[in-house]
Amino acid sequence: MRLFAASSPHIRHGDDIKVTMGDTILPLLFLLIVAIYYTGLRALTLTAVSVLSCIIFEYLYRRILGKKRSIGDMSAVVTGMIIAFCMPVTAPIWFPIIGAFFAIVVVKQLFGGLGNNIFNPAAAAICLLTVTWPGTMSTFPQATAKFSPFATPVEFETGVPVLTALKNGTLPDNRPFEMLIGYTPGNFGTSAILVIIIAGLVLLYRRIISWKIPLAYLGTVAVLALLFPRCPSGRLDSVVFELTSGSLAFVAVFMATDPVTSPVTTLGRLLYGFFLGLITVFIRYFGIYPEGAFFALLIMNPFVLALDRLGWKLKSKGGRIAYEQE
Amino acid sequence: MLKRPRGGLWFELNKTTAAERPIAELKAPARVYLPLKQCKGETPSLLVGRGSRVLKGQPIADGSHGLSCSLHSPVSGTVESIVEYNHPVGGKSMMAVISNDGRDMPYKAVQSRTDSAEGIIARVKSAGIVSSNDFSKPYWEKLRRFRERKVNTVIINAVEVEPYICSSQKIMDELPDVTVAGLELIMKCVGAKKAVLAVSDDIPEEVSRGMVEAAHLIDIELTIAHIPPKYPNGDEQFLMRALFAHEIEAQMKKGGKRPEVCFVYPQDCVNVQRAVNDGVPQITRIITVAGDAVTNPQNIEVPIGTKISDILNYCGLSFDPDRVVLGSPMRGVAIQSLDVPITKSVGAVLALKAAQRRNTKSICINCGKCVSVCPQGLLPNYIAMRAVKADFEALKGLNIDECIECGSCAYICPGRMPIVELIKNIKKAAI
């Protein structure tokens, strides 16, 4: 009998990193199914390419540098899915490969791998692609258009995403109900608001995410939209369209809550969400890009430690009972 | 502002099988191994030598000087040898090995009934009773301090909120009269007027009712306090918060005096009753033997000095465990060999399947689960991060001193960070 004399505690909760990542992947799969239903099998191709390249890059990097294998933790799969979801379905097939390389090798592994990266890998990849190929990344087909898995679409009817309409000060083509079910021009994986809401509730229930960041984030955007409406049809419409358009809801649920790059204290989380909302609205209103959520993430990522420091100041205040155990 | 109890863990308590079986009595094995140091404090001085004949209950080490605790032979027989031994819980001391002649010849000490507080403390001292909580101090010293503090309420702490552990529940279930008789003696000794029984919500109603009825028979009004079965609510300081949040808040405003209460455990009551009324020293202890590798999880009364291997053989192992733990699953000590004897400060033996593979790479993904379960409101993830770098300055700023090493953070951590181990090591390094 070989006994293992490790330190206490001697029992562990069953949810390890793999389970956590698996629980995140499941709702993402539902989003993928909706995307395939709306835009055709090309959504699947892009996602598969993205996920596979993330896994391969992670494997190769760690293999070449002689580090311990880490693809088993499934975090590369999550990153891969998120990168693909934040693209128009018409993006060329090599887009996700470039995104995956940047996310996994540059942003994640060069910083020391999972847990050590300062920036959200997927957000960084999307920002790189958006800045480098702004045209392709913000040209969206009509919501009705379907695409075959492999041929890169060259000519298609472009739709006007709600964010662009809002930027131009015109009335969006979509009704709020269409926004909820994701029947609108946009990134193929981030439009189905209803599915994202359900996914968020599931993740909350499984304690993968906390409510603080998404609520503070979306709340801030909602309040700002109410105070400074962009939609010609009124303040409330403006709130609805700002919340449901672009990738905001997806970012709030799946990316802003990324454990590695978000604060852990209550105050830190609330402030993080608040500033994300502020910056997102700022970029949406005044920037040249229609969507500001990804940039907001990258801007806020370096402040996580500082926000937690603030949160700890509040948390450690107030007396505890001094009681000596006898 | 008083910090309300927050954080903590709700375990699946897993104790039904052991709690359904009656307390079994383990026959003393052919040899018992008695490390002289059975509790915190000084090592008692040896009274016997190699080859001495000893009777059951005869003192073999005298702890009447200083902060120490006497030790008695649980069997009658011959002292085979005296060797140096390093017990994983108690530490280094001499150990008497006594071979059992199987005749259980009792040692008769001349003792008269006593009722005075000093008499009770003296009897507890000569019986070598060790406090049955994790801190294992000599019990006479605890009683003396309770008395000094002018305690007015004695609280029986039967809050068992860790998986498997259910010995307090079984003692109250099967020995309510002995327990309340001990409680009466303790109350008399410390001068307390009130008694409270603190139990977790999941305990069967009839157990606490049985205790109240037994107490009623000897004119003690035992009030029941139900505590949510959340770990670490069994800790005295958390029990204190759960029971007296308002009082403490009010008193802290006035000047920080705590309510004059003291905590005792059912096992303590039983020990005191036997020592004072029956003149029997502490030579056994009721422990929980459980864990996923144990075929018949149950509570057994074992003679002090029985080897863990004998105990596990008695209860049966369905497979070779990866970890054998002395004490609770969250705070106990894992042992490397089964040749370790039970001491008075061991309350449970658990044989467990490994919670993780050996050499699992641990990483922190900063998920914050540890922060949400920390009952002390600390940031275990940052503490672990700084502990790896041995950044003492930052650790002080993170209030590492307030950590009670309850293990909640390490239990919940999905990245399997050995947070408690890091904290323990850094605390050792800082001294």
Among A27-36, B116-125, B245-254, B393-402, the range scoring the smallest mean pLDDT is B245-254
What are the CA-CA distances from residue A215 to residues A177, A223, A299, B63 (Å)?
21, 12, 19, 62
Cα distance between residue B78 and residue B31, in whole Å = 10
Q: Find the residue in A nearest to B412 (Cα).
A: A13
Q: Does residue A318 surpass a pLDDT of 60?
A: no
Please tell me which of A8-12, B90-94, B305-309 the model is most confident about, judged by mean pLDDT. B305-309
| Strand B333-335 to B323-326 pairing | antiparallel
Interchain pair B369, A207: CB under 8 A: yes
Judge whether B263 is closer than 8 Å to chain A, CB to CB. Answer: yes
Tokens of A216: 């503070």
Q: Does residue A92 surpass a pLDDT of 60?
A: yes
Select the more confidently predicted residue: A14 or A285: A285
Q: Find the residue in B nearest to A258 (Cα).
A: B367
- What ipTM was reported for this prediction? 0.89
Identify the band that residue A148 occupies on the pLDDT scale cut at 50, 70 and 90: confident
Q: What is the percent of chain B where pLDDT is above 90? A: 62
For position B258, what pLDDT does the model report? 67
Interchain pair B236, A326: CB under 8 A: yes
Choose the closest CB to A326 out of B145, B256, B352. Answer: B145
For position B114, what pLDDT does the model report? 73
Q: Does residue B113 surpass a pLDDT of 80?
A: no
Q: Does residue B156 surpass a pLDDT of 50?
A: yes
Q: Find the residue in B nearest to A117 (Cα).
A: B365
Among A201-210, A312-321, B144-153, B369-378, the range scoring the smallest mean pLDDT is A312-321
Judge whether B248 is closer than 8 Å to chain A, CB to CB. Answer: yes
Q: Between residues 119 and 138 of chain B, which touch chain A (CB distance below 8 Å)?
A: 131, 133, 135, 137
Beta-carbon count within 10 A of B114 CB: 15
For position B3, what pLDDT does the model report? 46
For position B254, what pLDDT does the model report? 67
For position B252, what pLDDT does the model report? 63
Buried b (16+ CB within 10 A) or exposed e, B251-290: ebeeeeebeebbbbbbbbbbbbbbbbbebbbbbbbbbbbb
The C-alpha of B51 sits at a distance from chain A's nearest C-alpha, in angstroms, of 34
For position B75, what pLDDT does the model report? 94
Identify the band that residue A119 occupies on the pLDDT scale cut at 50, 70 and 90: very high
Interchain pair B258, A321: CB under 8 A: yes
The C-alpha of A145 sits at a distance from chain B's nearest C-alpha, in angstroms, of 39
For position B253, what pLDDT does the model report? 67
Q: Between residues 214 and 253 of chain A, which touch chain B (CB distance below 8 Å)?
A: none
Q: pLDDT for A209-249, tens place per residue?
A: 999 999 999 999 999 999 999 988 889 999 999 999 989 99
* Mean pLDDT, rounded, of chain B: 89
CA-based Rg of chain A, rounded to a whole angstrom? 21
Q: Find the residue in A nearest to B410 (Cα).
A: A9
The C-alpha of B354 sits at a distance from chain A's nearest C-alpha, in angstroms, of 8
Q: What is the percent of chain A where pLDDT is above 70? A: 97
Name the CA dihedral angle for B276, B279, B281, B282, rounded to a multiple of 10 degrees: -60
For position B1, what pLDDT does the model report? 33
| Strand B53-54 to B71-72 pairing | unpaired
Q: Which residues of B touch A210 (CB under 8 A)?
A: 368, 372
Q: Which residues of A touch B410 (CB under 8 A)?
A: 8-9, 12
The C-alpha of B56 sits at a distance from chain A's nearest C-alpha, in angstroms, of 31
Interchain pair B335, A5: CB under 8 A: yes
For position B16, what pLDDT does the model report? 76
Q: pLDDT for B352-387, tens place per residue?
A: 987 666 556 788 999 999 999 999 889 999 999 999
Judge whether B325 is closer than 8 Å to chain A, CB to CB. Answer: yes
Q: Which residues pair with A233 in a beta bridge?
A: none
The C-alpha of B191 sits at a distance from chain A's nearest C-alpha, in angstroms, of 18
Tokens of B88: 């994983």
Interchain pair B368, A264: CB under 8 A: yes
Cα distance between residue A237 and residue A225, in whole Å = 9
Q: pLDDT for A161-213, tens place per residue?
A: 889 888 888 888 888 888 888 888 999 999 899 999 999 999 999 989 999 99
For position B356, what pLDDT does the model report? 62
User: Mean pLDDT, to the nearest integer, of B218-223?
Assistant: 92
The C-alpha of A159 sits at a distance from chain B's nearest C-alpha, in angstroms, of 39
Which residues are CB-contacts of A286 (< 8 A; sequence separation ≥ 6)?
Answer: none
Choose the closest CB to B354 out of A4, A19, A326. Answer: A4
Choose the closest CB to A13 out of B364, B381, B411. Answer: B411
Among A96-110, B232-246, B276-290, the range scoring the smallest mean pLDDT is B232-246
Identify the band that residue A326 occupies on the pLDDT scale cut at 50, 70 and 90: low
DSSP state of A318: S
- Contact yes or no for A17/B363 (Cβ under 8 A): yes
Interchain pair B335, A9: CB under 8 A: no
The C-alpha of A235 sits at a distance from chain B's nearest C-alpha, in angstroms, of 37
Beta-carbon count within 10 A of B358 CB: 9
Q: Does residue A320 surpass a pLDDT of 60?
A: no
Q: Which residues pair with B94 in a beta bridge?
A: B84
Identify the band that residue B412 occupies on the pLDDT scale cut at 50, 70 and 90: very high
Tokens of A9: 């505690």
Interchain pair B414, A20: CB under 8 A: yes
Q: Which residues of A touch B163 (CB under 8 A)?
A: 11
Q: Does residue B251 surpass a pLDDT of 70?
A: no
Q: Does residue B18 surpass a pLDDT of 90?
A: no
Select the more confidently predicted residue: B247 or B201: B201
User: Mean pLDDT, to the nearest integer, of B318-328?
Assistant: 92
What are the CA-CA distances from residue B39 to residues B25, B68, B165, B182, B288 (Å)?
23, 8, 21, 21, 19
Q: pLDDT for B40-69, tens place per residue?
A: 888 899 999 999 999 999 999 998 888 888
User: Mean pLDDT, to the nearest integer, of B243-272?
Assistant: 80
